[in-house]
Structures are given as C-alpha cells and as structure tokens.
Amino acid sequence: MGTNPKVIKSPINSKVSREIILQDYQLACESRQASLLGRREVLTGKAKFGIFGDGKEVPQIAMAKVFREGDWRSGYYRDQTFMMAAGMFTLEEFFAQLYGETDLNYNPGNGGRLMNNHFATRSLDSDGKWKDLTKQKNSSADISPTAGQMPRLLGLALASKLFRNNPGLKSCSGFSHNGEEVAFGTIGDASTSEGHFLETMNAAGVLQVPMAISVWDDGWGISVPKKFQTTKENISELLKGFEKTDTQPGFLIYRERGWDYPALCKMYEDGIAQCRKNHIPVLFHITELTQPLGHSTSGSHERYKTKDQLEREKEFDCLVKMRKWILENAMAESSELEEIEVAALQKAREARDKAWKHFQDPIKKEREILIRTVRTSHCPCKKQERIDKIVDDLQKITEPIRKDIISSGKKILRDVCTTCNLKKPMKADLSAWLDEQLTINAERYGSHLYSESVHSALNVKEIPPEINGDSKTVTGREVLQANFDRIIATNPYTLVFGEDVGKIGGVNQTLEGLQAKYGELRITDTGIREATIIGQGIGLAMRGLRPIAEIQYFDYLLYGLEVLSDDLATLQYRTKGGQKAPLIISTRGHRLEGIWHSGSPLSMVINSIRGVYVLVPRNMTQAAGFYNTMLASDDPALIIEPLNGYRLKEKMPVNIGEYRIPIGIPEVLSKGKDITLVTYGSCVRIAQEAVQQLKDFDISVELIDVRSLLPFDRNHMILESLKKTSKIVFFDEDVPGGATAYMIQKVLEEQGGFQYLDAEPKTLTANDHRPAYSTDGDYFSNPNAEDVFDLIYEIMHNYSPARYPTLY
C-alpha cells in the first residue's frame, strides 16, 4: 500500500481513512479468493461441500466496523467476510472448516462437526467454564435450517436489556457492560419467508431490544427468485408497518445498496449507534447483492438465471463496484489495486496450503502407524496376499481420510490368522491400535452431546426433600410456587417467562404473586410465540442468564420443537463444548382434556432433542426438585409437570428451594416380587391404583417410577428388579411404539435384561389416535388402571395358569 495519503473526494467519516479503505478492499479480495479456491477444493474432491460468502463482502466489512467486544452475532453461511473483518475467523480457519478439521486449534468454531461456513466463537474454556464474554467478540453457533438463527437472536438482544434494566444484575460481571451489547443478525432474503423471521421481528419490536438484523438480499433462495418469496418483492417495504414513529416504538429501517461502500459504512454507524444507546431494534435491508459462484457447490446457477441476470450480477458485483469507487475518488492507482489483488490471492493460497497440511498430516501419520504395525512381521500363511493388497491399496490413496484407515485396519484384522505364531503379536498390536483409534474417534466425532464440565447435571448431588412434623399439607401448585419464590429470591440470574406467566402467575398459578414481588423483568408475560419463547431462552442462557421458559402446554411444544431440536439440543455438540445454553423449558403435560390438552408425546421429544435432558416428574415435589437440580447444573432440560397434579395434596418439604432430585435415577415406589411395572409422570398414580387391585389377586408388583427419560436409569435399577421378578411391563400414555419402545430398548438391550425374562415383555400405551374429550373420551383413549390390571393378570396367567386362572 502506498504511503502518500491522497485526498478522498467523499470522506466517509473520520475513522475511515484511505489506508483503512485499501485494507478493507484487500480483505474483501482475500475473502473472494477464499471462496474461489474453496469451490475448487470441493470440485477436486478435497472437501465434500462448499457454500461461500462471495458477492456479500462489502456490506459485511461495513457492518464489522461497528461490531464491538461484548457484541453478539447470530447469522448464517454467507458471513465469512464479516467474521474475518471482525477478527473472529481467519482465512486458515476458513479452509480448515471446509476440510472438516477436527482439531479445535485449527477449527475452533465447530471442531469438524458442521459443514463449512458455520461459524462460532468459544464462550467456554476447556473446562466448560464461562470466559469473560465482554472482552471478546461473540458469534453464537450457526445452524443450517434457514431462519433458524432468528429465535436465539431475540434472546441474545434481550439479555442486554435485562443487564441494563435489572438492578439485581448490576454486580454480575463477565457477561455485559450495562447492556451496551448489540445482537447482530444476518439472514438471506429468501429466508425471511420463514415464520421464525416474522415471529422474531414482531417480538423484537414489542420488547424493544438492541437487535440489528441485516438482510443480505441477492434476490434468490437457491433457484427460487424473490417473486415467489416476498410480497412486493421487497422485505423492507413489506415491513414498513414495523417502523418506529414519533409516537410509537418500532424498528429503525434502513435500505442500502450492497455495493455502495461509503453509504453502507455511514448507515451502519448511524443505525448501530441508536440501537446500542437506546435499545431500538434495526432492520438493515441490503439490496443488489450478487452470487458470483451461485448458491453452493451443489449445482450451478446457469441452470436458472438468464444470461441478462448473470451479466447484471457481474456488473453489480460489490468488489467491482468498490474498486471503481476507489479509482473514481483517486484513492489509489489501478496498479496499486492490482498489487492488492495479487497479494490477496497469495494470502488465500497460503492459508489453504497451511490448513490442508494441518488437516492431512495427522491422518497420514495414522496411516503410517497402521502400515508399520502390519509390516513388522510376515506370515507364510495364505492370507498374507489379501493383507498385502489392503495395505497397498491404502498406501496408494493420495489424500487418505480416517475412514480409509480404520476400514483397512478392521479388514486386515479379520485376515490375521490365529494359528500362526509369527502373527500373534501383530494381531494384539493391531487390535490394541484399533481400539485406541476407535476411542479417539468416538471423542473426536461424538463428545459433548451434554455438558462435560464439573457442572454437568449428572454430577449434581442429591439433596432429598425433607418432610417432617412441620410440613404442611398443601396443593401441588403451592409446592411449586414456594420453590419458584426461593429460586427467584436467591439466584439473580434466574427469570421465568411465557404466556400468562406474569400478571396471573401462570395458568395454574404456580408463579402466583411473584411478578408483584420481583418485578416484570423476572416474571414476564410473553406473546403467543412458542418458537421465540424457546429462542429467547437460548439467547439469554448463552449470555450467562438462567432462564426458565414456559410452554403453556406440552402439546404446544411442537411450535417450538424445531428450535429445541436444531438449536438447543445440538449446541454443545456442534461447538464441541465451545458454547452452552443451560435453559430450562418448563411445560405441563399428560392427561387432562381432549386432543390438545392431554398429549403425552414423549417419543416425539426424546427422539428429537437428545442433548437436552427430559424429566417427567410424577408430582410437584419431584418437579420442584428437578428445577433445583437443573439450576445447579449447566445442562439444558425439559421438565414436564403432570397437568392433573396441581390441585392434589402434597406435603411441603421444609427445605423447599434447596432439595435436589437426581436425574436418571428411578425410584422404586412399591416393592414386589412377581412382576416389574415401569412408568412415569401421571401414569404413576394409575399404576398405584392397579397395584392395589392386583394385590387383592395375590400378585405382587414392583412399581418403578423412572422419573427421567433422558438420561434413563443410569444405575440399571430396573435390571435389578427384573432379575428378581423376571417379568416386566412398560406403561405410559404415549402412542404404541413410543416412549415405551424406548424404555424396552434401554432395559432389554442396553442393560442386558433379555436374559432374565421368563415372560414376554409387554407395553401398555394410549391408542394411536389422540385422546378424545371428556372423562369417557379419556378412559377409552388412554390406558387406565383396569387396563394395567388386565395386562398384568394375563401375563401372570400365562406364566402360571393354575395359580392365576382366567378371570373373564
């Protein structure tokens, strides 16, 4: 870069000098070269898939200028230039991600768990403890579902508002500087068609949070143009009704052309200043962007763009335009820009080569070790030829991957003869090496589904509820209310929000009076918006708060299930322990009335949210204990209160707010010797009724409440019961083949219960259809005590017809 500053005809502001402008141009060129080279890496087979940020470089550089330490990003796969400009991502990391680098030193964002351009910074140290998030720039971890980044963005922004306005948080350090942090969102134009986008926008407008969303508008969602995506083909025009007026709060709305560098710099400076200072949400609609390389490496855009459209994209390419602007304003000679362009390409190439070397070297070393182990000895038996062939083939692979090595190792092991003395040590060496590699790869590709820190929920020590002479008999609702009161009083990071949670204290009054006592920032009503209630919780939890997000009824969790499944459940895993969101989702389920207030779709959740613990307490004493356990941990959980238990009587534990129910530990509720009955939630009371009925017929049932489905019976207590009874029934009110099938798999396969069975294992569930309305509808849709009796009696009859003759 030249040293003689030239006069800039249209200065942007005092902070953007000629020097900076040329640096920006260089970064834009580096990013573009990375995209071009990255695409080639995919086409030549070194990487599997590529999606890049080409055509969006210039506005991202402008946005990065106003992104500060403490700020947050929640965006998508086009943001590589922003990430680089903000210093959160390097060119080398760009290539490392592309190759699927698993070493966190080279791919700190996702450790090889996600496809390329899925960004994240690390909020946690290697022990899983929070870093000081105010001292670093933060990017929440990306996910692929379009608009999936939106719900959490709301929470990231809301955290600033809480840190600023809740006096109880003033002394909490490491997460915020008086709520000055802005949450920056990015989204493609086509993805604004998703409900998540509109739901988030509305909620941010209502809440007035410092959320700044940029729409990168290139006119396309893969092959589908704006015409089919957006009313009036213009998202900022469409959202005009959201705009702030002199009398009413709303959004600031800006629209700017994505190639107009000085205008973009000014726009971001102005918009973000207001957003940061006054907590006004902002929409930046960035138009006329392009896709020089098309959507991704799967397919080419020549298939659906006309020649004219492709020509126009070339003309409006933001790099071309920025270059022109620099020359027109006499900020550099053409030759100087050419030098910059050459340097950019060189830098990108070097980064690529370095990243590839880091990626390949350890794999090649692993291959060498395998080959050396196999070559150390030679066996005269006839299988040697087969072994040699496998080794030769493996050696010939120019760019080996681990699959090649392990697969070869396993095949060789099969061919190492067991009789030949010479081969014996090799067999032992090889199998030891394979075992070691499999363990390393299990960690490499499978760790951190849940927290692995000392605060893992699995490490929280049990503190039993204490019931003594002073314990009053109260309703279940009152137990929960007293527990929430203690939680909110003692932990300043906690807050509870959801529909009807605030003013009336929840539809079942489990938070009655708490808003009046602790204020609207701690106990908060929200709009009817399940997806963003969960997203709000995720974002808040990522910023160090301890939210309890309430979903009014379990049946309505479906609206938020995508967010739970794709975002929350994968968070620790997809960052390999780099981020966490210890969010508690509180809901109520199981039988009450009709299709949408008595569902118990446990298989729906346990199969879609592995990564979030799923707790199914039978009463409110148990539920309260689970809240306390989860708040003592850094894992997320879904806690399902039994809907029909709020008015039932329970004893108020004297240590309310303090006791902790361990997770993954069932409870034997009644001892028995003939058969084991396994259930949870509201079915426990039905089971207890049936156990009494069966007693009259001389059948002794061991009743086990599993209490938590994820994790499930960590100490294999059910197996111990089965060893004693040799007969077992799994009972719930999910669909046939639902959570009962899951429990069977756990006990018979994982715990090895199959060998202890003397009778066919059975399940008892609700019907395939959802429950009909009214008490009779429930009786004939859901399993009841008579059904439990009949099934268990039948099993006992089949086992011993003489002792248990046919009854009906």
Ligand X SMILES: Cc1ncc(C[n+]2csc(CCOP(=O)(O)OP(=O)(O)O)c2C)c(N)n1
Nearest Cα residue to 610 out of 576, 665, 556, 570: 570
Taking the complex as a whole, the smallest distance from the CB of residue 281 to ligand X amounts, in Å, to 20
Between 222 and 401, CB nearer to ligand X: 222
Between 221 and 506, CB nearer to ligand X: 221
Between 293 and 488, CB nearer to ligand X: 293
Interacting partner of 146 out of Mg ion, ligand X, none (Cβ under 5 to 8 A depending on kind): ligand X
Taking the complex as a whole, the smallest distance from the CB of residue 309 to ligand X amounts, in Å, to 14
Q: Does 191 bind ligand X (CB under 6 A)?
A: yes
Nearest Cα residue to 461 out of 708, 716, 662: 662
Kindly report the number of other CB atoms within 10 A of residue 806's CB atom: 8
Q: Which of 108, 188, 506, 642 binds ligand X (CB under 6 A)?
A: 188
For 804, list phi and psi in degrees, rounded to 5.
-125, 80
Sole window of 33-41, 105-113, 185-193, 442-450 interacting with ligand X (rule: CB under 6 A): 185-193
Q: Does 145 bind ligand X (CB under 6 A)?
A: yes
Q: How far is CA 90 from the centre of its chain?
A: 24
Q: Does 221 bind ligand X (CB under 6 A)?
A: yes
Q: Does 561 bind ligand X (CB under 6 A)?
A: no
Q: Does 144 bind ligand X (CB under 6 A)?
A: yes
Q: In DSSP terms, which residues pair with 524 in a beta bridge?
A: 497
Taking the complex as a whole, the smallest distance from the CB of residue 712 to ligand X amounts, in Å, to 30
Taking the complex as a whole, the smallest distance from the CB of residue 689 to Mg ion amounts, in Å, to 58
Between 175 and 220, CB nearer to Mg ion: 220
Task: Give 235-254 as a 3 state SS string.
Answer: HHHHHHHHECCCCCCCEEEE
Sole window of 159-167, 213-221, 610-618, 719-727 interacting with ligand X (rule: CB under 6 A): 213-221
**Chain position whose Cβ is nearest to ligand X:** 188
Q: DSSP code of 54?
A: T
Nearest Cα residue to 617 out of 569, 584, 571: 584
Q: Which of 24, 57, 101, 218 binds ligand X (CB under 6 A)?
A: 218
Taking the complex as a whole, the smallest distance from the CB of residue 218 to Mg ion amounts, in Å, to 4
**Chain position whose Cβ is nearest to Mg ion:** 188
Between 191 and 570, CB nearer to Mg ion: 191
Sole window of 108-116, 187-195, 776-784, 794-802 interacting with ligand X (rule: CB under 6 A): 187-195
Contacts of 67 (CB under 8 A, 6+ apart): 73, 82, 86, 137, 182, 184
**Burial classification of residue 14, based on how many CB atoms lie within 10 Å of its CB (0-12 exposed, 13-18 middle, 19 or more buried):** exposed
Structure tokens at 298: 């799967």
Kindly report the number of other CB atoms within 10 A of residue 278's CB atom: 11
Interacting partner of 400 out of Mg ion, ligand X, none (Cβ under 5 to 8 A depending on kind): none
Taking the complex as a whole, the smallest distance from the CB of residue 89 to ligand X amounts, in Å, to 18
Compute CA distances 221 → 120, 304, 566, 694, whole Å. Answer: 24, 11, 21, 62
Q: DSSP code of 227?
A: G
Q: Which of residues 73-92 bind ligand X (CB under 6 A)?
A: 78
Taking the complex as a whole, the smallest distance from the CB of residue 222 to Mg ion amounts, in Å, to 8
Between 218 and 550, CB nearer to ligand X: 218
Q: In 48-175, where do the E strands start and end?
A: 72-74, 138-139
Sole window of 85-93, 142-150, 323-331, 671-679 interacting with ligand X (rule: CB under 6 A): 142-150
- Determine the Cα angle at 532 with ends 527 and 533, to 5°: 65
Q: Which of 28, 29, 190, 718 binds ligand X (CB under 6 A)?
A: 190
Contacts of 19 (CB under 8 A, 6+ apart): 1, 5
Interacting partner of 72 out of Mg ion, ligand X, none (Cβ under 5 to 8 A depending on kind): none
Question: Maximum distance among all alpha carbons in the chain?
Answer: 105
Q: Which of 52, 94, 163, 216 binds ligand X (CB under 6 A)?
A: 216
Q: Which of 36, 198, 206, 222 binds ligand X (CB under 6 A)?
A: 222
Q: In DSSP terms, which residues pair with 705 in a beta bridge?
A: 667, 679
Q: Give the footprint of Mg ion on this chain (CB under 5 A).
A: 188-190, 218, 220
Between 190 and 337, CB nearer to Mg ion: 190
Q: How far is CA 327 from the centre of its chain?
A: 46
Sole window of 93-101, 183-191, 230-238, 267-275 interacting with ligand X (rule: CB under 6 A): 183-191
Taking the complex as a whole, the smallest distance from the CB of residue 221 to Mg ion amounts, in Å, to 5
Between 288 and 415, CB nearer to ligand X: 288
Dist. CA 632–CA 609, nearest whole Å = 21
Contacts of 422 (CB under 8 A, 6+ apart): 377, 378, 379, 380
Site residues for ligand X per CB under 6 A: 78, 144-146, 188-191, 216, 218, 220-222, 295
